[in-house]
Amino acid sequence: MSFLTRSLKALGLPLLFALLWWLPAGSAQAAVTCNANMSSVAFGTVELVDGTAPPSANATLSYTCDNTGNSTEFVRVCFNIGDGDEGLTNFNPRVMKSGTNSLKFQLYQSTSGTIWGSNGNAAVPNPFVATLSIARRSSTSGSATMRGELLPLQSTVPPGAYQDNFGGIHTSITLSSSTTATPATCNTSMADNFSFSVTANVSKSCLVTADPLNFGTVNGLPGQADKDQTSTISVTCTTPTAYTVALTPSNGSTAGVGSMAPTGGVPGNTDTVPYRLYRNAARTTVWGSVTGTNTVAGTGNGLAQVLTLYGRVLGASANVRPDNYRDVVTVAVTY
């Protein structure tokens, strides 16, 4: 009986050793995982009608990949970005929203013109790809820059806080690994995702330009007829921004009554040429700088709105020497 017991123990030792040897062999399978986070793309406060180029903003992708296996792994990692919560089906361009209003933007890889997209997307097929070599039981970290740009020609976009969120199904990390060479493609199965947001605050803004009011040649003798001319003032304001336009000659008149001084062509000349500014062709309503009384009001639509300025040189009071005369009128837009 004792002999049989010893024989069973002896037989059990090789079986136990065999199991212990088999377990590590199974754990030698590749075990690479990656995680990442992306900072927000914050455009800040932007003005869309001030005549400057739309701003850009950068974000940083930070990632770490771990190899828990017993062999060096060659890894291809794809960081995929989709359309975002607000821009459903919109990839090129992508879209932020404020209520029902939309603001178009795009996301690029670093300083390149490559749109940051995702595998399997025919419209935007280029994810950011990292190729890594990770030693056994170690990790590798890295980062990448994403550049956001607002599209030009969006002056009609109303003011507001615009946002698009990327997370859940809108981002993913896919990867492939091998112990022999870097894979040519990424696996289609999602390993993880990374969330970020894109924001912009469109502010009220206006842009104004004015053409010179040139009266040409004026007869300087007393009792002459008035000399009339017109000019244009162009105002571009965000939708639907209310604005007023005030005009103030250099003498500070609030009633649009100014005088042109000689430009220095005739030494010692101190004569002046009086003029008036009007809002109508009949020249019965003056254009000055008293808001609500003699200014011009409007509501912006994001496009240039052209206002006509009617000017008159008062010929009856003329008695000036031949010379060139000039004045500067300040155009002030309040909104």
Overall number of domains in the chain: 2
**In this structure, are 184 and 39 located in the same domain?**
yes
Residue 126 in this model has a pLDDT that exceeds 80: yes
Does 330 have pLDDT greater than 60?
A: yes
Closest CA to 195 of 176, 169, 174: 169
Q: Same structural domain for residues 255 and 269?
A: yes
Same-domain check for residues 195 and 58: yes
Residue 280 and residue 226 share a domain: yes
* Residue 10 belongs to some domain of the structure: no
Same domain, 194 and 233: no
Instruction: Report if residue 171 sits inside a domain.
Output: yes
What average pLDDT score do residues 87-97 get? 91
Confidence of residue 222 (pLDDT cuts 50, 70, 90): confident
CA dihedral of 150, 151, 157, 163, whole degrees rounded to 10: -40
pLDDT at 16 over 70: no
- pLDDT tens by residue, 248-266: 999 999 999 999 999 988 9
What range does the domain containing 47 cover?
30-202
C-alpha Rg value of the chain to the nearest Å: 37
Q: CATH number for the domain including 101?
A: 2.60.40
What's the pTM? 0.80
- The verdict on 213 and 163 lying in the same domain is no
pLDDT band at 29 (very low <50, low <70, confident <90, very high): very low
pLDDT tens for each residue of 47-74: 999 878 888 999 999 999 999 999 999 9
Does residue 5 have a pLDDT over 60? no
Asked if residue 309 and residue 217 are part of one domain, the reply reads yes
Q: How many CB atoms lie within 10 A of CB 69?
A: 18
pLDDT digit string, tens, across residues 182-195: 999 998 888 899 99
* Confidence label for 225 from pLDDT (cuts 50, 70 and 90): confident
What residue type is 163 in one-letter code? Answer: Q
How far apart CA 115 and CA 2 sit, in angstroms, is 78
Are 188 and 170 within 8 A, CB to CB?
Answer: no
Q: How confident is the model at residue 89 (pLDDT cuts 50, 70, 90)?
A: confident
pLDDT number for residue 219: 82
